[in-house]
Amino acid sequence: MRLLDRYIIREYLRALIAVGLVLTVLLEVSIILEHVDDVLGQNVPLSVSVKWFLLLLPYKLVQAFPVIVLLAVMFSVGNLSRHNEIIAIVSTGVSRARIFLPIFTITSLLAGLMIWFNEAVVPHTSSAAERTERVDVEHKPPPTSNRDIFLRGAGDTYYWMDTYRGDSNSPRMVGPVIVVLSPDRTHPLKRIEARWANHVVPNRPGGESHWNFHAGTEWDFDDNGRLLQVESFRDKRIPLEDDLREFLSVRKDPEEMNFVELSSYISILEQRPGVDLDEYRTELHLKISFPLALLIVAMMAFPCALKTRAGSLLVGFSLAVAFIIGFYGFTAILRGLGHEGHLWPWFAAWAPDGVFLVAASYILGLWRT
């Protein structure tokens, strides 16, 4: 049995590598064709263009993993079926489910690799690609600042500022205005204006990070909205929300964050009323549900590959292609509905897996003999 497992695994891995290499090249060519006008129109150097094209590849490749698995199963198992090797194996008493086991095992490892790749590689390359496009292709300043900010913080605190510069070394607010409203939001309890403010991270252990405001004025009001005092200051340390720095930072797309970062970002936004989180929550679930779909694709492709024997090649491939198109289309529709808040984020992300798992299980059971 170990010999049979090694033989099936070898054929499957060969198909995975071959299909993966071909699709990688095709994806890179499609990226070049999609963006060649941008680099030519902006006279971007060849080295920068190549770098940008390569940085765009990992995210595209992750989206193509189900197709790679589908074609690899079709080619490897289909080749065995066309040469009647499947019939020979089954005639020895080995079930088709047992033949599928090594394929399922390798696909499970591939799903784990996809999760790791999506966590460790894709966020960095997507962020670098975004920065390269903005700075080197479009010749814009790096995305380290937000302008004309108005947002609601935790509780009833509101922030206005001309610019927020989120440099990692010294984040700074330019022209900040901070207003704390009463619980019924009818009048202010505090107002702070300053020329600028910087975030300070203490060097000594145990120290707390804080914001220093410079050249400003602070107004305090009582519970009825009457002015209590006005204080002008040159420099003043003012306690603000602990995660304000992360909240003010330039927002990233979900693909630029790994699971932990995206989950943490959602937790920060949850404390701010009025922020739409459906897109982020949907993408958080998709970071797990989409890689696990590889197992469902393999389950569906296996019986389709068995149909390639006895002159049924067209039937098997047609069913497999219809399945993968349906999976991508259904996933895209539910993903969009999840982003817009028309479906629960968890349902939008996991429903395609559930529906196509039922379909794959049915067909796999239908063709088990």
Q: What pLDDT score was predicted for residue 68? A: 95
Q: Which class in CATH covers the domain with range 145-245? A: mainly beta
pLDDT of residue 288: 94
Instruction: Using alpha carbons only, give the angle 187, 188, 190 rounded to the nearest 5 degrees.
Output: 165
Quick one: pLDDT at residue 96? 79
Cβ neighbours, 10 Å, residue 55: 20
Backbone angles phi, psi at 156, to 5 degrees: -115, 40
The confidence score (pLDDT) of residue 1 equals 63
Q: What is the pLDDT along the chain (369 residues), one digit of tens a residue?
A: 688 888 899 999 999 999 999 999 999 999 999 998 888 888 888 889 999 999 999 999 999 999 999 999 999 988 888 777 777 877 777 877 788 889 999 999 999 999 999 999 999 999 899 888 888 888 776 665 667 777 777 778 888 888 888 765 678 889 999 999 988 888 899 999 999 998 887 766 656 778 899 999 999 998 888 888 999 999 998 888 777 777 776 567 888 888 988 888 888 777 766 678 899 999 999 999 999 999 999 998 888 888 766 556 666 778 888 889 999 999 999 999 999 989 999 999 999 999 999 988 887 776 554
* Alpha carbons 172 and 166: distance in angstroms, whole number: 7
Q: Are the C-beta atoms of 134 and 143 separated by less than 8 Å? A: yes
Q: Quote helix, strand, coil % in the chain, to nearest 5.
A: 60, 15, 25
Q: What gap in Å lies between CA 9 and CA 126, rounded to an integer?
A: 33
Distances (CA, A) of 182 to 156, 168, 177, 191, 193: 7, 33, 17, 12, 18
pLDDT for res 187: 85
Q: Where are the domains of the chain?
A: 2-135+278-366, 145-245
The answer to whether 114 and 291 are in contact (CB under 8 A) is yes
In the prediction, which pLDDT does 292 show?
94
pLDDT, residue 143, reads: 61
pLDDT for position 142: 67
Closest CA to 282 of 339, 332, 352: 339
Question: Is the Cβ–Cβ distance between 230 and 219 less than 8 Å?
Answer: yes
